[in-house]
């Protein structure tokens, strides 16, 4: 994939400020949403880069949507954490063009970023934290973001903000939509069943709000056994009965992530929230076959670099910090300009591999902040400027191979989610958009 085939957006390197109204009881300073700049591809001098194929993202969306035909559920794409490291603005734009039903993010700042990028589909802010002062709630309402609530204090604060803006003509008097989150066993966020009565009583008083959604988060949808997930869904059903008995009629009920929507048809409800699957990584081990259909997911990201130095190492010589590796034979060691500050986990030291010329080369020595060394002794003819693939596919003069996010995760003792989101902002993103 050549750079000439790529395009990039300067928006990713821009610092954005969002001004929001504040009342006199709060700080005078308006809400400022400042995002750290990413290396702008058009200006990047480094050869280390991430290439994202937006056609594959759209393909994955269609594959996952096809799994919903029998249930009729809608699909709201989860693109938190900067689109799982792929670049949220460009991913959201591609998904909106492909007619995604909605988008989910974790943070208020993430939602604002997408609205400022021209995203108009519904955006659900799932984290439930909207800043320490009222200006965060004002910004949420101004940008038409749908909040997740689960505590009485949240509901009171949001209702006051909606009322204040309506009284001052900044918005209509229509009730503002919220999604109520139930903790059915994740133990993280959401109202627990024993506290649901108090939260519903608060919502009944909050005439400024409308319970448009009811949601939960599944803890073990990718486990071998689905018993925990089934128990969570049963608890969610009981909570829904309580919510409806209190006079609420949520339009959207949702619980399923990628794993649940593929393995447990009854989890699809009114909408699903796939994240990892949109980027071409299956969240379940190979032996956990989907009960619905096997989607043909395609990885959307390639991370690559180039060899910037090659040297011959004699028997007994050591390389890298701490001299953790010594040559047991005459060796050729190549250096590539990617280190743990870029997302090459330090745990890959002495265990991971990269692709050079279509062949695998083991990482030797300790991965440093900016550089990594690999053993290319067994790869004939390696030279400066040869392409190195850290994640993704490579076809070279000696063959074709691929390194998946799952493989990186296994080497690093981590999970594929972390490997993707760890590709740092100083690695420029190039986008293929055929």
CA 164, 211, 252, 112: dihedral to nearest 10 degrees?
A: 20
CA gap 79, 56 in Å, rounded: 15
Query: Which three-class secondary structure state does DSSP give residue 101?
Result: coil
Tell me how crowded residue 45 is: count the other CB atoms within 10 A of its CB. 6
- Nearest alpha carbon to residue 225 among 256, 259, 188: 259
* Residue 273 falls in which region: left (phi positive, over 0), alpha (psi -120 to 50) or beta: beta
Query: Which three-class secondary structure state does DSSP give residue 365?
Result: coil
Quick check: is 80 catalytic?
A: yes
Q: Which residue in the list 176, 205, 321, 431 is annotated as catalytic?
A: 321
- Nearest alpha carbon to residue 19 among 178, 170, 149, 209: 170
Structure tokens at 305: 């670099």
**Long-range contacts of 217-220, Cβ-Cβ distance < 8 Å, separation of 24 or more:** 217/181, 217/184, 217/186, 217/188, 217/189, 217/190, 217/255, 218/186, 218/255, 218/256, 218/257, 218/259, 218/260, 218/267, 219/185, 219/186, 219/187
Quick check: is 176 catalytic?
A: no
Tokens 């504040």 found at: 22
Beta-bridge partner residues of 413? none
Tokens 């003069």 found at: 397
CA 354 to chain centroid, in Å, comes to 24
Query: Which three-class secondary structure state does DSSP give residue 301?
Result: strand
Q: DSSP characters for 125-179?
A: E-S----SSHHHHHHHHHTTPEEEE-SHHHHHHHHHHHHHHHHTTSS-SSPEEEE
CA gap 274, 258 in Å, rounded: 4
CA 282 to chain centroid, in Å, comes to 14
Tokens 């990617």 found at: 338
Stretch (H or E) spanning 305: strand 301-306
Q: Which residue in the list 74, 80, 181, 431 is annotated as catalytic?
A: 80
The sign one gets for the Cα dihedral 146, 12, 354, 347 is: negative
Tell me how crowded residue 37 is: count the other CB atoms within 10 A of its CB. 12
The one-character DSSP state at 169 is T
Q: Known catalytic residues? A: 80, 321
């Amino acid at each position: 994939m050549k750079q000439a085939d790529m395009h990039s957006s300067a928006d990713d390197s821009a610092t954005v400020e969002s001004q929001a109204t504040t009342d006199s009881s709060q700080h005078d300073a308006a809400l400022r949403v400042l995002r750290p700049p990413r290396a702008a591809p058009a200006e990047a001098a480094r050869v280390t880069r991430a290439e994202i194929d937006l056609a594959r993202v759209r393909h994955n969306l269609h594959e996952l949507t096809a799994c919903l035909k029998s249930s009729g559920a809608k699909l709201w794409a989860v693109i938190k954490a900067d689109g799982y490291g792929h670049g949220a603005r460009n991913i959201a734009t591609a998904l909106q063009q492909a007619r995604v039903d909605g988008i989910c993010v974790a943070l208020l700042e993430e939602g604002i970023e997408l609205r400022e990028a021209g995203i108009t589909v519904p955006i659900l802010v799932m984290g439930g934290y909207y800043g320490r002062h009222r200006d965060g709630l004002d910004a949420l309402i101004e940008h038409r973001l749908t909040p997740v609530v689960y505590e009485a204090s949240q509901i009171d604060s949001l209702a006051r903000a909606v009322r204040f803006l309506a009284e001052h003509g900044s918005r209509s008097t229509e009730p503002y939509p919220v999604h109520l989150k139930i903790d059915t066993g994740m133990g993280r966020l959401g109202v627990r069943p024993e506290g649901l009565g108090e939260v519903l009583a608060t919502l009944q008083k909050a005439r400024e709000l409308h319970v448009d959604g009811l949601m939960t988060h599944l803890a073990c949808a990718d486990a071998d056994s689905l018993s925990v997930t089934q128990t969570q869904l049963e608890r969610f059903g009981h909570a829904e009965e309580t919510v409806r008995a209190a006079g609420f009629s949520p339009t959207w009920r949702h619980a399923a992530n990628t794993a649940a929507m593929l393995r447990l048809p009854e989890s699809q409800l009114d909408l699903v929230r796939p994240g990892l699957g949109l980027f071409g990584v299956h969240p379940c081990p190979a032996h956990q076959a989907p009960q619905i259909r096997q989607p043909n997911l395609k990885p959307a990201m390639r991370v690559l670099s180039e060899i910037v130095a090659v040297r011959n190492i004699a028997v007994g010589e050591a390389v890298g910090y701490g001299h953790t590796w010594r040559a047991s034979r005459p060796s050729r060691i190549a250096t590539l300009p990617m280190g743990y500050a870029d997302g090459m986990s330090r745990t890959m030291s002495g265990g991971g591999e990269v692709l050079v010329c279509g062949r695998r080369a083991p990482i030797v020595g300790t991965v440093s902040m900016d550089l990594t060394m690999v053993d290319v002794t067994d790869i004939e003819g390696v030279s400066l400027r040869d392409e190195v693939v850290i994640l993704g596919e490579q076809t070279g003069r000696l063959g074709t191979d691929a390194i998946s996010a799952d493989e990186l995760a296994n080497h690093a003792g981590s999970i594929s989610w972390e490997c993707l989101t760890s590709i740092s902002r100083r690695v420029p993103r190039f986008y293929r958009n055929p």
